[in-house]
Amino acid sequence: MISKTDMLICKFTNTINKKVLIDENLKTTKKNTEIHGIGVKNIRKTAEKYGGTVSFEKKEEEFEVSFVLFGV
């Protein structure tokens, strides 16, 4: 995480053991969908609120989310 004047840059990485399909919807592959995937939704909502950007990437057995927020 990097914090600059009025800007926050974050990158999170998590291991995965299943096939992840990265598309616009980015749905959880876990059985109980009501309690999983909440973090992704919150990151998207927060990025939109602060005029930021979000990107998702799959790297071998890792899932990476990066986002930039402005005016924070």
State the Cα–Cα distance between residues 40 and 29, nearest whole angstrom.
13
pLDDT confidence of residue 49: 92
Mean pLDDT score of the chain:
81
- Model confidence at 23: pLDDT above 60: no
Q: Please count the structural domains in the chain.
A: 1
Give CA 46 to chain center in angstroms.
11
pLDDT band at residue 10 under the 50/70/90 scheme: very high
Which stretches within the chain are classed as H helix?
A: 38-49
Percent of the chain with pLDDT strictly greater than 70: 76
pTM equals 0.68
Q: What are the angstrom distances between the C-alpha of 3 and each of 11, 58, 69, 71, 72? A: 12, 25, 10, 11, 9
Sequence-distant (≥ 6) Cβ neighbours of residue 27 within 8 angstroms: 33, 37
pLDDT confidence of residue 15: 85
Which residues span the domain enclosing 48?
2-70
